[in-house]
Structure 1
Amino acid sequence: MTITITAFERSPDGGKGLARDMRVRWALEEVGQPYDVRLLSFKAMKEPAHLALHPFGQIPTYEEGDLALFESGAIVLHIAERHAGLLPDDTNARARAINWIFAALSTMEPPIVDREIARFLEGDKSWYEERLSMVLGRIRKRLSDLSARLGDANWLDGEFSAGDLQMVSVLLRLKGSGMLDEYPNLSAYVARGEARPAYKRAFDAQLAVLTAASTG
Protein backbone atom coordinates (compact mmCIF):
# COMPACT_ATOMS: atom_id res chain seq x y z
CA MET A 1 0.00 0.00 0.00
CA THR A 2 1.35 3.41 -0.96
CA ILE A 3 1.91 5.88 1.86
CA THR A 4 0.57 9.37 1.14
CA ILE A 5 1.34 12.40 3.27
CA THR A 6 0.14 15.97 2.94
CA ALA A 7 2.31 19.08 2.84
CA PHE A 8 2.05 22.80 2.15
CA GLU A 9 1.73 23.80 -1.48
CA ARG A 10 3.64 26.96 -0.51
CA SER A 11 5.38 26.47 2.81
CA PRO A 12 5.54 29.56 5.04
CA ASP A 13 8.99 28.52 6.28
CA GLY A 14 10.62 29.68 3.05
CA GLY A 15 12.45 26.44 2.39
CA LYS A 16 14.09 26.06 5.81
CA GLY A 17 12.72 22.57 6.40
CA LEU A 18 10.68 23.60 9.43
CA ALA A 19 7.19 22.62 8.29
CA ARG A 20 6.11 19.54 10.20
CA ASP A 21 5.78 17.33 7.14
CA MET A 22 9.59 17.45 7.18
CA ARG A 23 9.61 15.26 10.29
CA VAL A 24 7.45 12.67 8.60
CA ARG A 25 9.51 12.79 5.41
CA TRP A 26 12.68 12.32 7.47
CA ALA A 27 11.24 9.34 9.33
CA LEU A 28 10.15 7.66 6.11
CA GLU A 29 13.57 8.25 4.57
CA GLU A 30 15.29 6.78 7.65
CA VAL A 31 13.30 3.54 7.38
CA GLY A 32 13.49 3.37 3.59
CA GLN A 33 9.78 3.65 2.85
CA PRO A 34 8.63 5.30 -0.38
CA TYR A 35 5.79 7.79 -0.14
CA ASP A 36 3.66 10.13 -2.19
CA VAL A 37 2.93 13.74 -1.24
CA ARG A 38 -0.36 15.54 -1.77
CA LEU A 39 0.22 19.29 -1.75
CA LEU A 40 -2.43 21.54 -0.26
CA SER A 41 -3.17 25.24 -0.46
CA PHE A 42 -4.20 27.02 2.74
CA LYS A 43 -7.74 27.13 1.36
CA ALA A 44 -7.80 23.38 0.70
CA MET A 45 -6.60 22.69 4.24
CA LYS A 46 -9.87 24.10 5.58
CA GLU A 47 -12.15 22.25 3.18
CA PRO A 48 -14.22 19.18 4.20
CA ALA A 49 -12.05 16.63 2.39
CA HIS A 50 -8.97 17.57 4.39
CA LEU A 51 -10.83 18.23 7.62
CA ALA A 52 -12.01 14.62 7.48
CA LEU A 53 -8.33 13.65 7.78
CA HIS A 54 -7.16 16.42 10.10
CA PRO A 55 -9.93 17.96 12.23
CA PHE A 56 -7.82 21.08 12.89
CA GLY A 57 -7.10 21.75 9.22
CA GLN A 58 -3.33 21.46 9.41
CA ILE A 59 -0.55 19.36 7.89
CA PRO A 60 0.81 16.74 7.83
CA THR A 61 -1.53 13.82 7.51
CA TYR A 62 -0.63 10.21 6.77
CA GLU A 63 -2.67 7.71 4.79
CA GLU A 64 -1.88 4.06 4.21
CA GLY A 65 -4.67 1.76 3.14
CA ASP A 66 -7.58 2.31 5.51
CA LEU A 67 -5.40 4.03 8.12
CA ALA A 68 -5.41 7.83 8.36
CA LEU A 69 -3.38 9.72 10.97
CA PHE A 70 -2.70 13.33 11.84
CA GLU A 71 -0.16 15.02 14.15
CA SER A 72 3.49 14.63 13.21
CA GLY A 73 4.44 13.07 16.55
CA ALA A 74 1.84 10.33 16.24
CA ILE A 75 2.80 9.71 12.62
CA VAL A 76 6.53 9.45 13.35
CA LEU A 77 5.86 7.08 16.25
CA HIS A 78 3.67 4.93 14.01
CA ILE A 79 6.39 4.77 11.35
CA ALA A 80 9.01 3.93 13.98
CA GLU A 81 6.90 1.15 15.44
CA ARG A 82 6.02 -0.36 12.08
CA HIS A 83 9.46 -0.24 10.42
CA ALA A 84 12.92 -1.06 11.75
CA GLY A 85 15.46 1.70 12.13
CA LEU A 86 14.03 4.32 14.47
CA LEU A 87 13.42 2.41 17.71
CA PRO A 88 15.79 0.04 19.56
CA ASP A 89 14.95 -3.64 19.89
CA ASP A 90 15.59 -3.64 23.64
CA THR A 91 12.32 -3.01 25.47
CA ASN A 92 13.68 -0.48 27.95
CA ALA A 93 15.72 1.39 25.35
CA ARG A 94 12.64 1.48 23.13
CA ALA A 95 10.60 3.03 25.93
CA ARG A 96 13.29 5.64 26.54
CA ALA A 97 13.37 6.57 22.84
CA ILE A 98 9.59 7.08 22.90
CA ASN A 99 10.06 9.11 26.08
CA TRP A 100 12.31 11.49 24.14
CA ILE A 101 9.71 11.87 21.38
CA PHE A 102 7.26 13.19 23.95
CA ALA A 103 9.93 15.33 25.63
CA ALA A 104 10.73 17.02 22.33
CA LEU A 105 7.09 17.79 21.56
CA SER A 106 5.71 18.48 25.04
CA THR A 107 8.64 20.03 26.90
CA MET A 108 11.04 21.56 24.35
CA GLU A 109 8.78 22.72 21.53
CA PRO A 110 6.10 24.82 23.32
CA PRO A 111 8.39 27.66 24.51
CA ILE A 112 10.23 27.64 21.17
CA VAL A 113 6.94 28.06 19.31
CA ASP A 114 5.95 30.72 21.87
CA ARG A 115 9.00 32.71 20.79
CA GLU A 116 7.82 32.61 17.19
CA ILE A 117 4.31 33.69 18.20
CA ALA A 118 5.71 36.58 20.21
CA ARG A 119 8.03 37.73 17.43
CA PHE A 120 5.58 37.54 14.56
CA LEU A 121 2.20 38.27 16.15
CA GLU A 122 2.78 40.31 19.28
CA GLY A 123 5.60 42.69 18.39
CA ASP A 124 3.27 45.72 18.47
CA LYS A 125 2.00 45.04 22.00
CA SER A 126 3.07 47.21 24.92
CA TRP A 127 4.08 44.13 26.89
CA TYR A 128 6.04 42.50 24.04
CA GLU A 129 9.56 42.99 25.41
CA GLU A 130 8.65 41.67 28.84
CA ARG A 131 6.87 38.63 27.40
CA LEU A 132 9.70 37.89 24.97
CA SER A 133 12.24 38.06 27.78
CA MET A 134 10.23 35.55 29.80
CA VAL A 135 9.88 33.20 26.83
CA LEU A 136 13.61 33.36 26.07
CA GLY A 137 14.34 32.59 29.71
CA ARG A 138 12.17 29.47 29.54
CA ILE A 139 13.87 28.34 26.34
CA ARG A 140 17.33 28.79 27.82
CA LYS A 141 16.33 26.78 30.88
CA ARG A 142 15.17 23.93 28.66
CA LEU A 143 18.29 24.13 26.51
CA SER A 144 20.52 24.13 29.58
CA ASP A 145 18.78 21.04 30.96
CA LEU A 146 19.00 19.25 27.63
CA SER A 147 22.64 20.21 27.16
CA ALA A 148 23.51 18.82 30.58
CA ARG A 149 21.70 15.57 29.82
CA LEU A 150 23.29 15.12 26.38
CA GLY A 151 26.79 15.88 27.60
CA ASP A 152 29.38 14.68 25.10
CA ALA A 153 27.21 11.88 23.67
CA ASN A 154 26.29 11.81 20.00
CA TRP A 155 22.62 11.02 20.62
CA LEU A 156 20.22 11.18 23.55
CA ASP A 157 20.23 7.48 24.46
CA GLY A 158 22.70 5.31 22.61
CA GLU A 159 22.03 5.04 18.88
CA PHE A 160 20.05 7.56 16.81
CA SER A 161 16.30 7.08 17.31
CA ALA A 162 12.94 8.68 16.60
CA GLY A 163 13.51 10.62 19.82
CA ASP A 164 16.55 12.29 18.28
CA LEU A 165 14.68 12.88 15.03
CA GLN A 166 11.98 14.81 16.87
CA MET A 167 14.39 16.66 19.16
CA VAL A 168 16.63 17.80 16.30
CA SER A 169 13.54 18.89 14.34
CA VAL A 170 12.38 21.00 17.27
CA LEU A 171 15.82 22.55 17.91
CA LEU A 172 16.11 23.48 14.24
CA ARG A 173 13.40 26.08 14.90
CA LEU A 174 16.08 28.02 16.82
CA LYS A 175 18.59 27.95 13.98
CA GLY A 176 19.67 31.48 13.18
CA SER A 177 18.56 32.82 16.56
CA GLY A 178 22.01 32.46 18.10
CA MET A 179 20.57 30.61 21.08
CA LEU A 180 21.95 27.23 20.09
CA ASP A 181 25.42 28.76 19.85
CA GLU A 182 25.32 29.18 23.62
CA TYR A 183 25.34 25.37 23.91
CA PRO A 184 28.08 23.95 21.66
CA ASN A 185 27.10 20.34 22.29
CA LEU A 186 23.53 21.05 21.17
CA SER A 187 24.76 22.85 18.06
CA ALA A 188 26.89 19.82 17.23
CA TYR A 189 23.95 17.53 17.98
CA VAL A 190 21.71 19.39 15.52
CA ALA A 191 24.49 19.39 12.91
CA ARG A 192 24.80 15.60 13.24
CA GLY A 193 21.09 15.27 12.58
CA GLU A 194 21.29 17.51 9.51
CA ALA A 195 24.24 15.51 8.22
CA ARG A 196 22.30 12.25 8.10
CA PRO A 197 21.64 11.15 4.49
CA ALA A 198 17.96 10.56 5.26
CA TYR A 199 17.60 14.12 6.57
CA LYS A 200 19.26 15.51 3.46
CA ARG A 201 16.93 13.55 1.18
CA ALA A 202 13.88 14.75 3.09
CA PHE A 203 15.10 18.35 3.09
CA ASP A 204 15.79 18.30 -0.64
CA ALA A 205 12.34 16.83 -1.31
CA GLN A 206 10.63 19.54 0.72
CA LEU A 207 12.76 22.29 -0.80
CA ALA A 208 11.93 21.06 -4.30
CA VAL A 209 8.26 21.80 -3.63
CA LEU A 210 9.03 25.42 -2.76
CA THR A 211 11.34 25.80 -5.75
CA ALA A 212 8.70 24.43 -8.09
CA ALA A 213 6.06 26.73 -6.61
CA SER A 214 8.26 29.82 -6.96
CA THR A 215 9.12 29.09 -10.61
CA GLY A 216 5.72 27.77 -11.64
Structure 2
Amino acid sequence: MTMPHTAEWSAATTRGTYRAEVEDLRDALADAARDGRWSRVFELIASAPHWISANDTRLGGPSGYTPLHQAAWHGADGEVVTRLLGLGAWRTLRTSSGERAVDIAAARGHARLLDRLRPVAHHPLPPATVAAVERRLHALMQEDSHGLVAKHRLKLPPVEILTELADPKLWVPVPGMYGGFKIRLEDGALIVESWSRVVGGSGRRHRITPDATTLLAEGFV
Protein backbone atom coordinates (compact mmCIF):
# COMPACT_ATOMS: atom_id res chain seq x y z
CA MET A 1 0.00 0.00 0.00
CA THR A 2 2.86 2.41 0.70
CA MET A 3 5.80 3.68 -1.30
CA PRO A 4 8.98 4.05 0.77
CA HIS A 5 9.92 7.56 1.89
CA THR A 6 6.87 9.12 0.23
CA ALA A 7 3.90 10.54 2.12
CA GLU A 8 0.66 8.72 1.31
CA TRP A 9 -2.87 10.01 0.86
CA SER A 10 -5.63 7.62 1.87
CA ALA A 11 -8.40 8.50 -0.57
CA ALA A 12 -11.05 6.03 0.59
CA THR A 13 -14.13 7.54 2.23
CA THR A 14 -16.59 4.65 2.22
CA ARG A 15 -16.81 1.36 4.01
CA GLY A 16 -16.17 -1.72 1.92
CA THR A 17 -13.15 -0.26 0.17
CA TYR A 18 -10.67 -2.11 2.38
CA ARG A 19 -10.65 -5.50 4.07
CA ALA A 20 -12.71 -5.77 7.26
CA GLU A 21 -9.63 -5.91 9.49
CA VAL A 22 -8.34 -2.64 8.03
CA GLU A 23 -11.70 -0.97 8.56
CA ASP A 24 -11.65 -2.23 12.16
CA LEU A 25 -8.24 -0.60 12.66
CA ARG A 26 -9.51 2.69 11.22
CA ASP A 27 -12.55 2.53 13.54
CA ALA A 28 -10.37 1.79 16.56
CA LEU A 29 -8.06 4.70 15.71
CA ALA A 30 -10.98 7.11 15.25
CA ASP A 31 -12.60 5.95 18.51
CA ALA A 32 -9.38 6.34 20.50
CA ALA A 33 -8.69 9.84 19.12
CA ARG A 34 -12.30 10.93 19.69
CA ASP A 35 -12.06 9.80 23.31
CA GLY A 36 -8.62 11.33 23.88
CA ARG A 37 -6.96 7.97 24.57
CA TRP A 38 -3.61 8.95 23.15
CA SER A 39 -1.59 5.95 24.32
CA ARG A 40 -4.07 3.78 22.40
CA VAL A 41 -3.74 6.01 19.31
CA PHE A 42 0.02 5.61 19.30
CA GLU A 43 -0.22 1.89 20.01
CA LEU A 44 -2.53 1.36 17.03
CA ILE A 45 -0.38 3.34 14.60
CA ALA A 46 2.72 1.47 15.72
CA SER A 47 0.95 -1.88 15.32
CA ALA A 48 -0.08 -1.34 11.68
CA PRO A 49 1.93 1.53 10.13
CA HIS A 50 1.26 0.28 6.57
CA TRP A 51 -2.52 0.39 7.05
CA ILE A 52 -3.28 3.34 9.32
CA SER A 53 -1.61 6.68 9.89
CA ALA A 54 -1.85 9.89 11.88
CA ASN A 55 -3.77 11.42 8.95
CA ASP A 56 -6.56 8.87 8.76
CA THR A 57 -10.21 9.69 9.33
CA ARG A 58 -13.13 7.41 10.11
CA LEU A 59 -14.35 5.63 6.98
CA GLY A 60 -17.87 6.83 6.31
CA GLY A 61 -17.58 9.50 9.01
CA PRO A 62 -18.93 12.97 8.27
CA SER A 63 -16.48 15.16 10.22
CA GLY A 64 -13.18 14.41 8.47
CA TYR A 65 -11.36 14.61 11.82
CA THR A 66 -7.90 13.06 12.04
CA PRO A 67 -6.12 12.38 15.35
CA LEU A 68 -4.47 15.82 15.09
CA HIS A 69 -7.86 17.53 14.75
CA GLN A 70 -9.09 15.59 17.79
CA ALA A 71 -5.98 16.57 19.77
CA ALA A 72 -6.71 20.22 18.94
CA TRP A 73 -10.35 19.81 19.99
CA HIS A 74 -9.45 18.15 23.29
CA GLY A 75 -6.62 20.56 24.05
CA ALA A 76 -4.28 17.61 24.38
CA ASP A 77 -0.90 17.89 26.01
CA GLY A 78 1.69 19.53 23.78
CA GLU A 79 3.73 16.36 23.87
CA VAL A 80 0.85 14.48 22.24
CA VAL A 81 0.67 17.04 19.43
CA THR A 82 4.43 16.92 18.92
CA ARG A 83 4.35 13.14 18.75
CA LEU A 84 1.53 13.16 16.18
CA LEU A 85 3.49 15.65 14.08
CA GLY A 86 6.51 13.38 14.37
CA LEU A 87 4.37 10.58 12.93
CA GLY A 88 3.66 12.72 9.89
CA ALA A 89 0.38 14.42 10.83
CA TRP A 90 -0.34 17.30 8.44
CA ARG A 91 -1.08 20.73 9.89
CA THR A 92 -2.63 21.94 6.62
CA LEU A 93 -5.18 19.11 6.41
CA ARG A 94 -8.75 20.38 6.73
CA THR A 95 -11.88 18.77 8.13
CA SER A 96 -15.08 18.40 6.12
CA SER A 97 -16.04 21.89 7.27
CA GLY A 98 -12.70 23.37 6.19
CA GLU A 99 -10.99 23.68 9.58
CA ARG A 100 -7.33 22.98 10.20
CA ALA A 101 -6.18 21.74 13.59
CA VAL A 102 -4.94 25.24 14.47
CA ASP A 103 -8.39 26.66 13.71
CA ILE A 104 -10.05 24.13 16.01
CA ALA A 105 -7.60 24.82 18.83
CA ALA A 106 -8.15 28.58 18.48
CA ALA A 107 -11.94 28.20 18.53
CA ARG A 108 -11.74 25.97 21.61
CA GLY A 109 -9.48 28.39 23.47
CA HIS A 110 -6.39 26.17 23.51
CA ALA A 111 -3.95 29.00 22.88
CA ARG A 112 -0.95 27.04 24.18
CA LEU A 113 -1.22 24.71 21.16
CA LEU A 114 -1.36 27.34 18.44
CA ASP A 115 2.37 27.66 17.81
CA ARG A 116 2.73 23.89 17.47
CA LEU A 117 -0.26 23.58 15.16
CA ARG A 118 0.32 26.58 12.91
CA PRO A 119 1.26 25.28 9.43
CA VAL A 120 4.80 25.82 8.17
CA ALA A 121 5.00 26.11 4.37
CA HIS A 122 8.31 24.75 3.10
CA HIS A 123 7.14 25.38 -0.46
CA PRO A 124 4.71 28.31 -0.30
CA LEU A 125 2.33 28.97 -3.18
CA PRO A 126 -0.24 31.73 -3.66
CA PRO A 127 -3.77 30.53 -2.77
CA ALA A 128 -4.93 31.17 -6.33
CA THR A 129 -2.17 28.93 -7.68
CA VAL A 130 -3.04 26.18 -5.22
CA ALA A 131 -6.70 26.32 -6.22
CA ALA A 132 -5.95 26.32 -9.95
CA VAL A 133 -3.51 23.42 -10.00
CA GLU A 134 -5.74 21.45 -7.63
CA ARG A 135 -8.68 21.73 -10.03
CA ARG A 136 -6.51 20.47 -12.89
CA LEU A 137 -5.00 17.70 -10.74
CA HIS A 138 -8.40 16.37 -9.69
CA ALA A 139 -9.67 16.44 -13.27
CA LEU A 140 -6.62 14.48 -14.43
CA MET A 141 -7.02 11.91 -11.64
CA GLN A 142 -10.67 11.42 -12.58
CA GLU A 143 -9.62 10.83 -16.20
CA ASP A 144 -6.64 8.55 -15.62
CA SER A 145 -8.39 6.37 -13.03
CA HIS A 146 -10.86 5.21 -15.71
CA GLY A 147 -13.86 5.83 -13.49
CA LEU A 148 -12.44 4.32 -10.30
CA VAL A 149 -12.35 7.67 -8.46
CA ALA A 150 -16.08 8.06 -8.99
CA LYS A 151 -16.86 4.37 -8.42
CA HIS A 152 -15.18 4.31 -5.01
CA ARG A 153 -16.15 7.90 -4.13
CA LEU A 154 -12.53 8.74 -3.41
CA LYS A 155 -11.54 11.99 -1.78
CA LEU A 156 -8.74 13.46 -3.87
CA PRO A 157 -5.74 15.08 -2.18
CA PRO A 158 -5.55 18.81 -1.46
CA VAL A 159 -2.49 20.42 -3.01
CA GLU A 160 -2.04 22.47 0.17
CA ILE A 161 -0.54 19.36 1.83
CA LEU A 162 2.41 19.41 -0.57
CA THR A 163 3.37 22.92 0.49
CA GLU A 164 4.14 21.76 4.02
CA LEU A 165 6.08 18.60 3.16
CA ALA A 166 9.84 18.99 3.34
CA ASP A 167 10.02 16.50 0.47
CA PRO A 168 6.92 17.54 -1.51
CA LYS A 169 5.89 14.14 -2.87
CA LEU A 170 2.62 12.28 -2.36
CA TRP A 171 1.59 8.75 -3.32
CA VAL A 172 -2.13 8.14 -3.92
CA PRO A 173 -3.08 4.47 -4.37
CA VAL A 174 -6.40 3.87 -6.13
CA PRO A 175 -8.46 0.79 -5.21
CA GLY A 176 -8.96 -1.45 -8.23
CA MET A 177 -6.24 0.29 -10.24
CA TYR A 178 -3.35 -1.80 -8.87
CA GLY A 179 -1.35 1.38 -9.03
CA GLY A 180 -2.20 5.01 -8.59
CA PHE A 181 -0.69 8.46 -8.75
CA LYS A 182 2.65 9.84 -7.65
CA ILE A 183 2.50 13.63 -7.30
CA ARG A 184 5.37 16.00 -6.66
CA LEU A 185 5.58 19.75 -6.38
CA GLU A 186 8.42 21.15 -8.46
CA ASP A 187 9.11 24.84 -9.19
CA GLY A 188 5.51 25.81 -8.52
CA ALA A 189 4.08 23.11 -10.80
CA LEU A 190 2.88 19.55 -10.23
CA ILE A 191 4.51 16.55 -11.88
CA VAL A 192 1.99 13.70 -11.87
CA GLU A 193 2.72 10.09 -12.80
CA SER A 194 -0.06 7.51 -13.08
CA TRP A 195 0.08 3.81 -13.81
CA SER A 196 -1.55 0.44 -13.29
CA ARG A 197 0.65 -2.55 -12.49
CA VAL A 198 -1.56 -4.92 -14.49
CA VAL A 199 -1.71 -2.86 -17.69
CA GLY A 200 1.47 -2.73 -19.75
CA GLY A 201 2.31 0.71 -21.10
CA SER A 202 -0.11 2.41 -18.72
CA GLY A 203 2.34 4.98 -17.40
CA ARG A 204 1.60 8.64 -18.07
CA ARG A 205 3.49 11.70 -16.83
CA HIS A 206 1.95 15.18 -16.83
CA ARG A 207 3.04 18.65 -15.75
CA ILE A 208 0.32 20.81 -14.26
CA THR A 209 0.49 24.60 -13.99
CA PRO A 210 -2.39 26.98 -13.24
CA ASP A 211 -2.86 27.44 -16.99
CA ALA A 212 -2.28 24.01 -18.54
CA THR A 213 -2.04 20.24 -18.10
CA THR A 214 0.72 18.98 -20.38
CA LEU A 215 1.49 15.36 -21.23
CA LEU A 216 5.25 14.79 -20.89
CA ALA A 217 5.55 11.03 -21.46
CA GLU A 218 3.47 7.88 -21.74
CA GLY A 219 3.83 4.12 -22.05
CA PHE A 220 6.72 3.85 -19.56
CA VAL A 221 5.08 1.26 -17.26
Larger relative contact order, structure 1 or 2 (CA cutoff 8 Å, min sep 6): 1
Name the structure where strand makes up a greater proportion of residues: 2
Q: Is TM > 0.5 for Structure 1 vs Structure 2?
A: no
TM-score normalised by the chain length of structure 1: 0.29
| TM-score, normalised with respect to structure 2 | 0.28
